[in-house]
Amino acid sequence: MKKYIHNLIAWKLKKLVKWLLISSHPLVIGITGSAGKSTTKEAVYEVLNTSLQYKGKVKKSVGNLNTDIGLPLAVLGFNSSPRFYEWPFVMLLSLFRVLIPQLNPLSRISILVLEYAADKPGDIKYLTEIIKPDIAIITVIGPAHLVNYQSINQIAEEKMQLALSLDKSGIALLNKQDPHLKQYVEKIKCEIKYFDASPHQTTMMIAKKIGEIFEINLKIVEKVLKNIKPMDHRLNLIKIDSFYILDDCYNANPLSTKMALEELSVKAKEVGATRKIAILGDMLELGQDSAKYHHEIGELAKKTADIIITIGEESKQIDNSHWFKDQYAAGPFLLNMITKGDIILVKASRKIGLEKLVDRLMSIKFH
């Protein structure tokens, strides 16, 4: 029953977006990838919206509105998914926004920056049927949602559907360093532009490339990137008393965790930290390769961090760490061992809920 209602809502929202786009024709920038989608979306939006030629004419999806229901909600002008009992009002308001020009959320918008997510085969193709991008950006490809995909190559094929949906007039923006995309390049009908970046540099290089495409002065782009504030729970550096928290607990997969560990090293040098601590929770939905990926992350963490704390059943695969069943068990140990000068990375899949642990760490005060 729940699936039927979900599919019915998704179908109705798709129809509403189609009607809305009859009268509105913004240029659509679509962003997908295994990591960095939201951060890249924010950077692209800020670069465009800060420029004189596009200021006030750019709209972005808010939060994680990037699914079969979230994406059309974003296009229709909503900032979050409604509660169950709010849906009748949302559908009625959506209809008004489509029919009444004064309520059209795209009436003054020239550029729409959207996030396209996928956790199973066919998701991206369906999202492009709702609203097809004019510019497709693939951030980086890596192991994520492997419980629903047979391999990383199948993930790459899924993500590349965004670029493959483009018309000849479109632009596909791809990472030159990503080996998983090369086999699909010949199938793309439009112009391809490359950015050359390691996973850690992806967002910055994409934003610069967007600035180049839209003829925005490089100095303006660099100034914008320098001043962008990180999103909550996404590589957000927080100074607490006399230590630092690198809060990246929104979600995790092997690629994003590797990126977070790289950022831990960078930030430790920037702030002059005396000790690096990595708190790593389970990376979920990795299927039969879960043990392998947790072990690989453990090996990288040993080279990066001075102390490793792991949380959750899957994270038992990480050697030379202080392991705890959950955040509540880990709390007392952490509160006693943290000292002045530490920098602490907190990283885990969303369902592990380590944002509560971050809140506890933020309450620490040294006397």
122: left (phi over 0), alpha (psi -120 to 50) or beta: left
Q: Is residue 171 predicted with pLDDT exceeding 70?
A: yes
Q: Is residue 366 predicted with pLDDT exceeding 80?
A: no
Query: Using CB atoms within 10 A of its CB, is residue 228 exposed (0-12), middle (13-18) or buried (19+)?
Result: middle
Task: Give the β-pairing of 58-60 and 111-115.
Answer: parallel
Query: Both ends of the chain: CA-CA distance in Å?
Result: 56
Cβ contact 17:11 at 8 Å = no
pLDDT of residue 182: 86
Cβ contact 312:245 at 8 Å = no
pLDDT of residue 232: 86
Q: State both tokens at 241.
A: 């008393």
Among 23-37, 106-120, 124-138, 196-210, which is the least confidently predicted range?
Answer: 196-210
| Tens digits of residue pLDDT in 255-305 | 999 999 999 999 999 999 999 999 999 999 999 999 999 999 999 999 999
Over range 219-241, report the average pLDDT. 90
pLDDT band at residue 199 using 50, 70 and 90 as cut-offs: confident
- pTM of this prediction? 0.92
Q: Is residue 365 predicted with pLDDT exceeding 80?
A: no
pLDDT band at residue 1 using 50, 70 and 90 as cut-offs: low
Which residue, among 90, 57, 55, has the nearest Cα to 76 in the 3D structure?
Answer: 90
Higher pLDDT, 30 or 4: 30
| Tens digits of residue pLDDT in 305-352 | 999 999 999 998 898 889 999 999 998 999 889 999 999 999 999 999
| Tens digits of residue pLDDT in 132-164 | 999 999 999 989 888 899 899 999 999 999 999
Dihedral of the alpha carbons of 192, 193, 198, 202, in degrees to the nearest 10: -110
Q: Is residue 215 predicted with pLDDT exceeding 90?
A: yes
Q: State both tokens at 159.
A: 């993500």
pLDDT of residue 26: 97
Phi and psi at 147, nearest 5°, equal -65, -25
pLDDT, the chain, mean: 94
Q: CA 140 to CA 126: how far, in whole Å?
A: 21
Q: Is 322 helix (H, G, I), strand (E, B) or coil?
A: strand
Q: Please name each of the domains of the chain with its CATH number.
A: 2-227 (3.40.1190.10), 236-361 (3.90.190.20)
Over range 204-214, report the average pLDDT. 96
- Using the Cα atoms of residue 175, residue 178, residue 179 and residue 180 in order, give the sign of their dihedral: negative
Q: CA 170 to CA 110: how far, in whole Å?
A: 16
Cβ contact 311:356 at 8 Å = no
Q: Identify the H or E element spanning 14.
A: helix 2-23
pLDDT of residue 75: 98
Task: Give the β-pairing of 135-138 and 171-175.
Answer: parallel
Q: CA 323 to CA 309: how far, in whole Å?
A: 6
pLDDT of residue 367: 59
Q: State both tokens at 23.
A: 């009268």
pLDDT of residue 7: 93
Query: How large a percentage of the chain has pLDDT more than 90?
Result: 83
pLDDT of residue 335: 87
Q: State both tokens at 341.
A: 């000068």
pLDDT band at residue 48 using 50, 70 and 90 as cut-offs: very high
pLDDT of residue 209: 97
